[in-house]
Amino acid sequence: MKLQSRVLIPILSVLILSLVLISITSVSVMRDTTNTMVDSEMRHVADSVSHQIVLSQSITDSVLEMMNQKNLVLAQILATMIAEDPTNLENENMARFCELFQVSEVHVTDENGILSWGSEPDFFGLDFYTNEQTLPLTAILSNPTLTIAQEPQPRAYDGTLFQYISVSRIDKPGIVQVGVEMEVIDEVKMSLSVQNAIQDIRIGHDGGVLLLNRDGLVVADSFSALTGFNMNSQPWFETMFDNKEGTLEIQLGRHECQSYYRFDHNYIIVTFIPLAELNAYTMRILGSIIPLGVAAAVIVSFITIWLIRWITKKAYWYESILDCIPFFVSVTDMKRNLTFVNKPVEEFLGKKRSELLGLQCNNWNVNTCRTDNCGIFCLETGKPTPTFEQNGIELKVDVNYLMDRNNKKVGHLEIFQDVTEMLLLHKKLEKALVEANAASYAKSNFLANMSHEIRTPMNAIIGMTQIGKASEDLARKDYSLARIEDASHHLLGVINDILDISKIESGRFELSMTEFNFEKMLKRVVNVSTFKVDDKHQKLTVYVDRTIPKFLLGDDQRLAQVITNLLGNAVKFTPEDGDIKLNTYYQGEKDGLCEIKISVTDSGIGISKEQQARLFQSFQQAESDTTRKFGGTGLGLAISKSIIEMMDGTIWVDSELGKGSRFSFTFKMQRRKGKEENLPQKEIDWKSLRVLAVDDDRYILEDFKGIIEKFGARCDVAESGEEALALLEKGEDYNLFFVDWRMPGMDGIELTEKLKQRMKKPDDSFVIMVSSTEYSLISNRMDEVGVDSFLQKPLFASTIEELVGQYFGISETELEVVDDEVDISGIFAGHQILMAEDVEINREIVLALLEPTELKIDCAENGKEALEMFKAAPDKYELIFMDIQMPEMDGYEATRRIRALDIPKAKSIPIIATTANVFKEDIENCLAAGMNDHVGKPLNIQEVLDKLREYLA
């Protein structure tokens, strides 16, 4: 085929122009795509930071409110203790209260507002009427019913700020005040601050987030490098402040940056990425596209200029030129018959040119003529030209008319470009954008989950605080404080997770191996959960397999976290008046490890098979409407799965939609023989006891009967009050009656009244009321009919044993007291140690606790002083207690210098760290510095005695 030069020149011009346009269009499209992706990412990061601002403030307010509630309760408890026993006003008792309640100071005034008692004698004589800070508190001296809570602002002493909570005395006019160092409160604020939440957020490699207040001060940034700088002099700050939202190029240091900003929650959130990084990223993406188009355009232009004189003479060279172009080219007449295809088309189809000429254009590509998939049809109708797939590659078609010298249409020129790589790159960009959005969403959900994890034990703390305040019964107050203590331990575990957030996000949990009582661990977990169970009037029953070892070696905090999560979900997804069961089973022992199975069953909404597949993934719940209705983030089950797998176990769910769920898991731990197993046997003649249990729940009766008979006593059961009275009519005689309060027909109160009337030996028989209802709600009615004691559901064997021991032997509590009160008088007489501790009250505590042992203790107020004292008399000391954080020289440095001394004893003397830094890495740092052991603060006197026995033996 030959073409005249007048036809060839326009064709080549069109071709060159098409190549240039393709390159320019590709650059423009890909640049726009990249900018859109980065802009979207910056907006999503801004959304995440906005959520974190709200959540951080909410969590901080909640935690601080909890601390204030706790201190207010402690102040009220102290006021009660002073009223009951005035000797509690003695100075050493006040210091002991500070240690016991973990507060910094306790102050008490007389009726004239003069501070006369407390843990800090330096304050004695302070007149609350003459002090501007304390003057508002004197209102309670004339009005004892008035409670003054937190003071207007922190009060300073010796350079340290304290926050005080005050209440009125109960015995006479006066003020009881509890103080906490602001440093503790500031640490809480810092750990939950927005800076802590956003410090690792990155956009690209060098991009990040700034958080500015209205004055232009940087209050937080993701690099922790600009915080504290004022940006109000920057020309872009005024634009952001006025416009509230938008995109802007800004100067940060030496970098020009592309930014997206938004005014939100009284802050300006600025997300940014350096323009240099953005441009480099764009050019890397376009690196495979631009050279192709530009090179093709240059080559074709060069060929056109060089061969133009030859083309005018020899038209057949047209074919050779088109054969050299790295695109698929075809020419058709106006009837769409092929009049030319270039060599790339021949190679692509595996056919010769002569086989294709004369055929319809759609004989070589998958397009169908006269549809939106046909390039010629789109040209004629003005529609966008298509992209289609053929032989595994994506082709983009560009088509133009061929004109003769009279400007008449004589055919079509189609150029097909391989855009497979470009489309794949575009899909990768879209995938990266989706993943970035998912990561941002995951971070927001993670913070929401932490709020949930904190609020669960806080609910128990606040609820039991209210119950304790409302009750005048000291036993009930003790019960409430015990519940508060259990919930506080759980809350401490959650806060530790928050402070170590990077480990949680990466799934790097560390198990702490400690010996623990399995049943007591279950009690703590149940105590945290029963408050919500009572709120929804649900029934919670607990079955403990009696063959499970009493003591195990493992991480009871992590195990309790899993059980608490499963119980919390069961309560959440079970309707009011529903049933929840916590069952434990002993699976046997192999290779020194005991395998235990725990299941939590509920009568809730159930989970479908499709939904179950997503349950143990992070941030997943069954359905989106589940989140709206019940709350939560779904992170708990993912964390639980990680914990259980670390305990060499598995976790799974059996459920059917609408028919409840059963979550089960197994774990393996070593058996241990705890100190309580070495105690003398209870002085209870179980075989002589006759017990009658009355409850309308057969499952509870079977469990209770198993517990009593395992102890060796005989136990009868009755499912109603009428059945219980019938047993008495038959002549049966019982020592103990365990009676459920809420039963259909005859309730526990009415049954107790009739039992008291029919007892053969009323002085030797006792009625124990059993109920999941709070004691304070039924105590008056129990007193009226003569109930002897109250037992809270769910039932545990140790609780039953202790209660029986109160009437027929030595209780477990008494035995533990005897064990705890081992005589330590003079056990370390003749020994002398050195203690390095910079806090005076800490030194006083150790000296007072160890005084009965007759151990001689020399004190140093910092590491430098301890080093000098040891150098002066190395043979004088047998052991060193070394604090870590001390002025002048800390404990690490002091230990290293002692070990480096050219004194023989410096290498061998035991050095034990005494510090509040109790994480695994802290202990490893102590050992790395040359210390022998570690004791955590607050000090446990039994642990201190054990260490002294070990190293002074």
- Please tell me which residue, 227 or 4, carries the higher pLDDT value: 227
Confidence class of residue 862 from pLDDT cuts 50, 70 and 90? very high
Cα three-residue angle 586-589-594, rounded to 5 degrees = 65
User: According to the 3-state scheme, what is the secondary structure of 667-725?
Assistant: EEEEEECCHHHHCCCCCCCHHHCEEEEECCCHHHHHHHHHHHHHHCCEEEEECCHHHHH
Check residue 885 and report its DSSP letter: S
The DSSP call for residue 127 is B
CB 839 within 8 A of CB 746: no
Q: Among 52-66, 138-152, 650-664, where is mean pLDDT lowest?
A: 52-66
78-82, 334-338, 803-807, 854-858, range with greatest mean pLDDT: 854-858
pLDDT at 874: 92
Distances, alpha carbon 486 to alpha carbons 92, 116, 525, 691, in Å: 27, 35, 8, 31
* Residues in Cβ contact with 481 at an 8 Å cutoff, skipping those fewer than 6 apart: 77, 464, 468
Q: What Å distances lie between residue 931 and 836, 844, 855, 866, CA to CA?
A: 13, 23, 21, 14
Return the structure tokens found at 288.
């495979």
pLDDT tops 50 at residue 636:
yes
Return the structure tokens found at 886: 């001390």
Element housing 282 (H / E): helix 275-286
671 in Cβ contact with 608 (< 8 Å): no
Long-range (24+ apart) CB contacts under 8 A made by 79-82 are 79/167, 79/168, 79/169, 79/170, 79/176, 80/170, 80/477, 82/108, 82/169, 82/170, 82/171, 82/176
Token duo for residue 834? 């050195």
Tens digit of each residue's pLDDT (9 = 90 or more) over 35-87: 777 777 788 778 777 776 766 666 666 656 666 667 777 777 887 887 777 77
Count of beta carbons in the 10 Å neighbourhood of residue 756: 16
CB contact at 8 A, 667 and 644: yes
Q: Give the pLDDT score at 507.
A: 55
pLDDT tens for residues 341-359? 777 777 777 777 777 777 7
Distance between CA 56 and CA 52 in Å, rounded?
6
> How far from the centroid of its chain's Cα atoms is residue 648's Cα?
22
327-336: per-residue pLDDT in tens? 777 787 877 7
Helix residue ranges per DSSP H, 143-233: 182-191, 194-198
- 735-794 confidence digits (pLDDT tens): 899 999 888 889 888 988 888 888 877 778 899 998 877 676 777 888 888 888 888 888
* CA dist., res. 459 & res. 452, Å (int): 10
630 has a pLDDT exceeding 80: no
Q: Say how far apart CA 221 and CA 833 lie, in whole Å.
A: 48
d(CA 938, CA 101): 11
DSSP letter string, 305-361: HHHHHHHTT-TTHHHHHHHHSSSEEEEEETT-BEEEE-HHHHHHHT--HHHHTTSBG
Mean pLDDT of 215-240: 84
Among the listed ranges 40-54, 130-144, 308-322, 347-361, which one has the minimum average pLDDT value? Answer: 308-322
CB neighbourhood size of 555 (10 A)? 20
Instruction: Report whether pLDDT(129) > 60.
Output: yes
Q: Which residue has the tokens 């030129």?
A: 321
Question: How high is the pLDDT of residue 501?
Answer: 44
Q: What is the pLDDT of residue 666?
A: 96
Contacts of 845 (CB under 8 A, 6+ apart): 95, 99, 939
CA angle 436, 438, 442 (to 5 degrees): 120
- What pLDDT does residue 895 have? 95
- Quick check: 21 and 417 in contact, CB under 8 A? no
Which of 616, 582, 601, 598 lies closest to 669, judged by CA? 598
- The token pair that represents 894 in the structure block: 């002091």
What number is the average pLDDT over the span 278-287?
69
* Summary mean pLDDT of the chain: 77
Question: Does 191 or 358 have the greater pLDDT score?
Answer: 358
d(CA 596, CA 587): 5
Residue-level pLDDT at 677: 44
Least confident of 151-165, 399-413, 902-916: 151-165
Is the backbone peptide bond immediately before 938 cis, with ω within 30 degrees of 0? yes
Alpha-carbon gap, residue 344 to 342, rounded angstroms? 6
Q: Tell me what the mean pLDDT of segment 292-297 comes to.
A: 52
Res 819: pLDDT: 40
3-class secondary structure per residue, 757-787: HHCCCHHHCEEEEEECCCHHHHHHHHHHHCC
Determine contact, residues 886/838, Cβ cutoff 8 Å: yes
The residue with greater pLDDT, 756 or 528, is 756
Cβ–Cβ < 8 Å for 78, 178: yes
State both tokens at 887: 């002025």
Report CA 471 to chain centroid distance, whole Å. 34
pTM for the whole thing?
0.42
- Name, of 189-203, 416-430, 647-661, 838-852, the range with top average pLDDT: 647-661
The secondary structure of 461-479, three-state, reads HHHHHHHHHHCCCHHHHHH
Model confidence at 554: pLDDT above 80: yes
At 536 the pLDDT is 83
Which among 885, 894, 893, 941 is positioned nearest to 917, based on CA atoms?
A: 885
**735 vs 265 pLDDT, higher one:** 735
Distance CA 401, CA 342 (A): 18
- The 3-class SS string of 58-114 reads HHHHHHHHHHHHHHHHHHHHHHHHHHHCHHHHCHHHHHHHHHHHCCCEEEEECCCCE
Q: Which of residues 503 and 796 earns the better pLDDT score?
A: 796
653: pLDDT confidence band, cut at 50, 70 and 90? very high
pLDDT at 627: 41
Report the alpha-carbon distance of residue 321 to residue 342 in Å, rounded. 9
> By percentage, how much of the chain surpasses pLDDT 70?
73
Residue the block writes with tokens 């059963």: 662
